Amino acid sequence: MKRKKLLLTLFTACMLIASNVFITSCAKEGPAGKDGINGTNGTNGTNGANGADGADGTASCIECHSPAGIELAATQYELSKHSYGEAAFEEAGSTTCGPCHLSEAFKYVCANNTPSTFTLNTTTNKYVNDYFVAPTAAYGEITCGTCHSSIHTTYSTGDLALTTVAPVSMSMWGGAKTINAAADGGRSNLCIKCHQPRPFTASAGNGNVLDYVGIAANPTAVFYDPTSTTNLLKPAYRTHTHYGTAGAVFAGMGGVEFAGANSYLNSRHTIDASCQDCHMATMSGAAGGHSFKAKGNFNGCNAEGCHTGVSSSSTDYWTTPRAAVKAKLEELASLLQVNGVEILNRNPDAEANLWVSNTSNKYDGYLNIYDPINNPDFAANNPTGTFQNPSPSNSWTQDQKDFNLTLPKITLTNAQMGGIINFQLCLRDYSLGIHNYKYTMALLQNSIAVQ
């Protein structure tokens, strides 16, 4: 939707004429032009007089540094997880996590157009993910300058321009697919550059991205067999699609698209809406604006002639579609079993499980595999996991290793692996279908049908 530019410069005339030297020339009375012989110089003289009219060196500062400008944005920003989240500290120094978690690293991948390809290292015969940054750029909390990287370069409101609106070459496909969310000048692409899933790789194979098309085409084929030596990956508690799935679901990409009764269509949001329409709407409570939160704020739904009267009690646009997606998530989870044991993990701890309210059984999208190690970075792993861990760690005690061997082994078909990936993708977009109802339902229903 077309959204009117919020900040129109009040001092355009002064800025246009004297943009290079405005701090001095707008502040003082402009020098009178020399008398011109041919008239051109005479025009310059007029410019000087306009400079005098500007007469305020702080004008451009005030356009941003006002209570309604950056001060308001900064107040709202305190409510944003970009600001209060701790991942930027935890991932500091990481050249591979950095592009999405660290300010300098994000600006680095934008400025250098870092490719999201995978390249074969012919020495190790393993593929390497090319989407990483130099160690010198692997730091920085996400802040104003992450998204507005030109602040204080010309001291004009143009400096608020977004760091990137370019189409996003997707990391999860090794660059083979690109998302271009073109609504509103492509501003969703800024968000999607970070809010895209990380690649699922053949970590026990050649390290390349998993072939989702191949998985979808052969649902009955074996994906993981504990007795095989050619498995592409060994399932573990944290075998998962990394959190930023909203961008891919919104764009209608990123799932294992099993053939089935449901076509992979997109809702109108994909074409007509931008992330900002819903996540930066007029504030309501703690959501909207630079809090980037959509939760409990329906101002975006009802703006710009999109919907009218949508609220948390609306059936057609809120409760019914969300309940339908929740029911499909639960149905798929209940079907993902090996010998009567559920593959997906349940975790009722609302602090550790970010998706605790999205299903009745409180799935967290991880797998129900034994992992006794308490990693301080991840609170607890999975000491109550039911399946045997195919990759016991050297750091386990002998008792833990012995206990692991008493547990049943997990096996996976392509239908199950694809079902797990699609479950994680749809659970972890948080919105229960609001981002892209048609695509979400098609993924879940076709996944259910192949189990």
The interface with ligand HEC within residues 226-285 (CB under 6 A) comprises 242-244, 246-247, 250, 269, 273, 275-279
User: Does residue 152 belong to the site contacting ligand HEC (CB under 6 A)?
Assistant: yes
Stretch that binds ligand HEC, among 47-55, 88-96, 231-239, 401-409 (CB under 6 A): 88-96
User: Does residue 61 belong to the site contacting ligand HEC (CB under 6 A)?
Assistant: yes
Within 103-132, which residues bind ligand HEC (CB under 6 A)? 106
- The C-alpha atoms of residue 341 and residue 338 are separated, in whole angstroms, by 5
Q: Judging by beta carbons within 10 Å of its beta carbon (0-12, 13-18, 19+), is residue 349 exposed, middle or buried? A: exposed
Structure tokens at 191: 């968000």
Q: Which of 151, 182, 356, 449 binds ligand HEC (CB under 6 A)?
A: 151
* Shortest CB 287 distance to ligand HEC, Å: 8
Q: Which of 11, 173, 237, 292 binds ligand HEC (CB under 6 A)?
A: 292
Amino acid residing at 179: I
Would residue 248 be called left, alpha or beta, if left means φ above 0 and alpha means ψ between -120 and 50 degrees? alpha
Q: What number of chain residues touch ligand HEC (CB under 6 A)?
A: 77
Structure tokens at 317: 């646009």
HSE-up (13 A, CA, CB side) for residue 243: 9
HSE-up (13 A, CA, CB side) for residue 38: 1
User: Does residue 194 belong to the site contacting ligand HEC (CB under 6 A)?
Assistant: yes
Within 368-427, which residues bind ligand HEC (CB under 6 A)? none
User: Does residue 431 belong to the site contacting ligand HEC (CB under 6 A)?
Assistant: yes
Structure tokens at 397: 């005690």
* Shortest CB 76 distance to ligand HEC, Å: 8
Angle at CA of residue 380, ends 237 and 430, nearest 5°: 65
User: Does residue 160 belong to the site contacting ligand HEC (CB under 6 A)?
Assistant: yes
- The C-alpha atoms of residue 449 and residue 451 are separated, in whole angstroms, by 6
User: Does residue 328 belong to the site contacting ligand HEC (CB under 6 A)?
Assistant: no
User: Does residue 159 belong to the site contacting ligand HEC (CB under 6 A)?
Assistant: yes
Taking the CB of residue 315, how many other CB atoms lie within 10 A of it? 9
- The C-alpha atoms of residue 113 and residue 304 are separated, in whole angstroms, by 34
Site string for ligand HEC, 348-367 (x = CB under 6 A): ------x-------------
Stretch that binds ligand HEC, among 13-21, 48-56, 147-155, 204-212 (CB under 6 A): 147-155
Q: Which residue's beta carbon is nearest to the bound ligand HEC?
A: 85
Amino acid residing at 57: G
- The C-alpha atoms of residue 216 and residue 224 are separated, in whole angstroms, by 15
* Shortest CB 328 distance to ligand HEC, Å: 17
User: Does residue 188 belong to the site contacting ligand HEC (CB under 6 A)?
Assistant: yes
Instruction: Rank residues 21 and 74 by Cβ distance to ligand HEC and give the closer one.
Output: 74
Site string for ligand HEC, 8-47 (x = CB under 6 A): ---------------x------------------------
* Shortest CB 408 distance to ligand HEC, Å: 29
- The C-alpha atoms of residue 359 and residue 337 are separated, in whole angstroms, by 17
Instruction: Rank residues 317 and 403 by Cβ distance to ligand HEC and give the closer one.
Output: 317
- The C-alpha atoms of residue 52 and residue 70 are separated, in whole angstroms, by 27
Q: Which of 14, 26, 137, 192 binds ligand HEC (CB under 6 A)?
A: 192
User: Does residue 94 belong to the site contacting ligand HEC (CB under 6 A)?
Assistant: yes
- The C-alpha atoms of residue 356 and residue 361 are separated, in whole angstroms, by 8
CA-based nearest residue to 118, from 34, 183, 205 = 205
Q: Which of 11, 15, 18, 187 binds ligand HEC (CB under 6 A)?
A: 187
Instruction: Rank residues 16 and 341 by Cβ distance to ligand HEC and give the closer one.
Output: 16
Cβ neighbours of residue 250 under 8 Å, at least 6 residues apart? 181, 188, 192, 269, 270, 275, 429, 435, 436
